Chains A and B, each alone.
Chain A
Amino acid sequence: MLRLLSQQLRLNERDLHASVFGPGKDSKTDTSTTQTDGSSFNASMQTSPASMINQYKFEEEEEDADTKDIFVTVDNPESHVTAIETYITYRVETKTTRSEFDSSEFEVRRRYQDFLWLKGRLEEAHPTLIVHPLPEKFVMKGMVERFNEDFIETRRRALHKFLNKIAEHPIFSSSEDFKIFLTAGSGELTSHKKQGPGFLSRMGETVKAVAAAVRGVRNRPQEFTDMQEYAEAFSQKISSLDKVTQRIVREQKEYLEELKECGPTYALWSQSEQELAEPLKNVAGCVDNCCKETEEQVKHLNDHLIPVLHEYVLCADTLKAVLRRRDNIQADFEGKTEALATKKADRDAMRDELDKAEDRLEWANNALKTDWTRWQKVMRTDLRSAFIDTAERNVSYYEKCLAVWESFLQSQRTDAEGNGNVDSS
């Protein structure tokens, strides 16, 4: 159902591309949806053709993995040096069977700025949809170089996740900006970036947003207040989990430092002994093996669980931002309602504006509610699999250490039997 709708949306996009302010066509869906007047589209929505769609309501269906028709990879970081700056670009490879793409394979190079641009565009076009977060611009702790290997790798993984999350999103994946991001050569991308609303109109929007924010929302529906509370609480919990996990990694590393000295001490001891030399050397080896396993376990935690938790810390901020934007849209509508009631002149124009504001609000609310539910599902899946993964890794860690020590016991038993002693152990 969702896919069909998405396809409809894409078709409509192409049709509308030429006429930015043209009325939206009716969506041919089988679900009965509220039809709004296609002609009264908000001027502020002029940035992306996708936003020309007057309404959409997508079902809460799960997308089949089988029906995934676009695969995006981010890899191969490369450093570029120019006279002005040094920066990293990443290879973005796309494989798709979607008809709106001219080809089935694309390969482009993109830098962090480009990802930021894409995110901004999607947010502008869909202020109340939840865009997956990008990795942060800088890492504040310590003097981490931007071009440190670990940093680049962590960032690459996050960028990869970002694009895939966009690709999996029913609305975002049909965004024209997204398509251009994936397919355009660097020159084409630069010129496309220059399009879009001019500086002044963007400023106008910002002023409006600030005004709305200052005005504040009066009658926020309970469901959105509930969402706000949830976002706050979720933010706290996920931040705590992030901190706890980081602390675990720190403690593990310190444990590892100490453990690394144990093996060599046993080995040193074995040098003074005769009968005991062999078991001592054996124990030294076991301890060293356990060290290796601990090191790998810590690495796994660092590379897998921590990035996911971190992403969702950023997601929590996104949730709050989305709710704020919704509030602003409602505040704008409330403001215009008031204005209409009080002002005498220009009533027709104002009524027009009010209708548009009302549409915008309704549209924003529906979009948010639907995407919220979707987001929660995705969150649940992501975090569940991250925790399961961690638990499995921990089991594997203990299983490996167990094997190490059991082999030691085995060696001592065979030794004892060889010497004619029977040990009760």
Chain B
Amino acid sequence: SARVMPTQERKLFSSTLFHKIFKAHTSLSLKKCKGCLYKISTSMVEKGTSLLKMMEISVAEAEKRTGKNAVNMQETYTVYLIETRPVDAASEGTNPVPDSLWRRYSEFELLRNYLLVTYPFSVVPPLPEKRAEFVWHKLSADNMDPDFVERRRVGLENFLLRVASHPDLSSDKIFYSFLTEENGWKETVFETGFQAKADSRLKALNATFRVKNPDKRFAEMKHYGDELQSVISQLLRVRARAADRLYGVYKVHGNYGRVFSEWSAIEKEMGDGLQSAGHHMDAYAASVDDILEEEEHYADQLKEYLFYADALRAVCRKHELTQYELEMAAQDLTSKKQQREELATGTIRTFSLKGMTSKLFGQETPEQREAKVKMLETQIEEGEELVKERNTECEEFVKSAWVDIERFKEQKDHDLREALISYAIMQISMCKKGIQVWNNAKECFSKM
């Protein structure tokens, strides 16, 4: 079964694959996504082991394809063009053609699932939503809708950039080949055998279990994840409804345009003023489309952290699982030790079926008892090894997870603050447009 790559191996990968490793703290510049104002600023990266320093990554285009699916039925789906280019090339001014390949959403999902299983202690960046949610009436919930596809393209690019700037995830081989090897990538992923681990983990995670000594920090973090998810959901809902209403307000003003125009036809002196005022009312009504499109980007930024909350909770749950497995191992060890004690002293303190049956059906021979003790001894030895292993696993998990959680917290605080600022900027822009339109209208009215 696949294991998490031990630390040494990962470091080796880094140095052989990427010979330029920046050791200094670097604050990465804002990356502006093509054609929109959505900025992501990748937060400070420790030790500079970030793929983003080596290559430029972008999801440049989206295209519709048709093909036969698994059950041999015709389907239409969208593919996204991933472009990569070494960072140096652009700065040298040669500007070579980037390498590129096409991927569909399901492949992104596969990549993410692989990362989730392989780096359970990392807060793995989320994908953009599978289906459009928190829509307001104008937006189509249809996955084929061009606006939805465009926003998804941006979201996918964002996902890749986040992974590429993550201290642990960015040096993953599978991730690298996702970006560079079009064919056979899927097979490579499956070869890692991560799915088997995924299945067992998934089963364990879905089962309800109680940890005896929960780590307070993780419990708090999980609670925070719950709260974050709840409040961002609420905010997105409320915002969508408000956007819907605002759309109505602006659009009704378009009727002023129509009526002013009609009215101007029957007036002499008032005609010109009314007519031109009407044009401004039309402009006002039309302006809401751009305003709300910009707000959608803000909503997308919030959505990313809505999904991040889920990733955070996943780490906490995985920690719980690790903790639980440790406790189970310890518990098992204790019971085995007790059994040995009982056999040695002949007292039965713990209930065991074997014990009961032997009581009912007669005592066992000393040879039998001897054999049992020996077996228990072996089991206890193994048990102790297991407990030690799990303990180490737990400790390492806690250490790695906590580092990433701290990194995540900083990134979240920074990004969300930027998002709020950009929201304010949007509001200001909207107000400025309003001032301009109504001042123009006022001038026209004065000429009535």
Contacts and interface: CB of A to CB of B under 8 A. Distances in A.
Given A254-B245, A266-B235, A380-B269, A409 B425 contact: yes
Interface string B217-235: 0000000100110011011
Given A240-B262, A384-B445, A412-B417, 14 more contacts: A247-B255, A254-B248, A259-B245, A268-B234, A272-B228, A275-B417, A276-B413, A276-B417, A387-B445, A392-B442, A395-B434, A395-B438, A409-B428, A424-B30
Contact of A276 (B235, B270, B416): B416
Given A248-B253, A395-B439, A237 B245 contact: no
Contacts of A268: 231, 234
Interface in B407-448: 412-413, 416-418, 420-425, 427-428, 431-432, 434-435, 438-439, 441-442, 445-446, 448
Interface string A377-415: 000100110011001101101110110011011001000
Contacts of A388: 442, 445-446
B424 A286 contact: yes
Interface stretch (B125-133, B236-244, B361-369): B236-244
A423 B418 contact: yes
A307 interface: no
B262 to A, nearest CB: 6
A255 B242 contact: yes
Contact of B252 (A247, A258, A283, A392): A247
A202 B308 CA distance: 83
B266 A233 contact: yes
Contacts of B224: 272
B277 interface: yes
A241 interface: yes
B417 A279 contact: yes
B72 to A, nearest CB: 47
A391 B278 CA distance: 13
A147 interface: no
B266 A230 contact: yes
Contact of B238 (A265, A384, A394): A265
B89 interface: no
Contacts of B427: 286, 290, 401, 405
Contacts of A273: 413
A100 interface: no
Contact of A269 (B235, B270, B432, B434): B235
B263 interface: yes
Contacts of B241: 258
Interface in A243-283: 244, 247-248, 251-252, 254-255, 257-259, 261-262, 265-266, 268-269, 272-276, 279-280, 283
B256 A262 contact: no
A399 B431 contact: yes
A384 B263 CA distance: 13
Contacts of B425: 405, 409, 425
B207 to A, nearest CB: 28
Contacts of B403: none
Interface in A159-179: none
Contacts of A238: 263
B432 A402 contact: yes
A272 B448 CA distance: 55
Contacts of B432: 398, 402
Contacts of A241: 256, 259, 263
B51 to A, nearest CB: 24
B445 A391 contact: yes
A406 B430 CA distance: 12
Contacts of B439: 391, 395
29 contacts: A240-B259, A244-B252, A247-B252, A248-B249, A255-B242, A257-B245, A265-B235, A268-B231, A269-B232, A269-B235, A275-B413, A276-B417, A280-B420, A286-B424, A380-B269, A380-B270, A383-B270, A391-B438, A392-B438, A394-B434, A394-B438, A395-B439, A398-B431, A398-B435, A399-B431, A402-B431, A405-B431, A425-B418, A425-B425
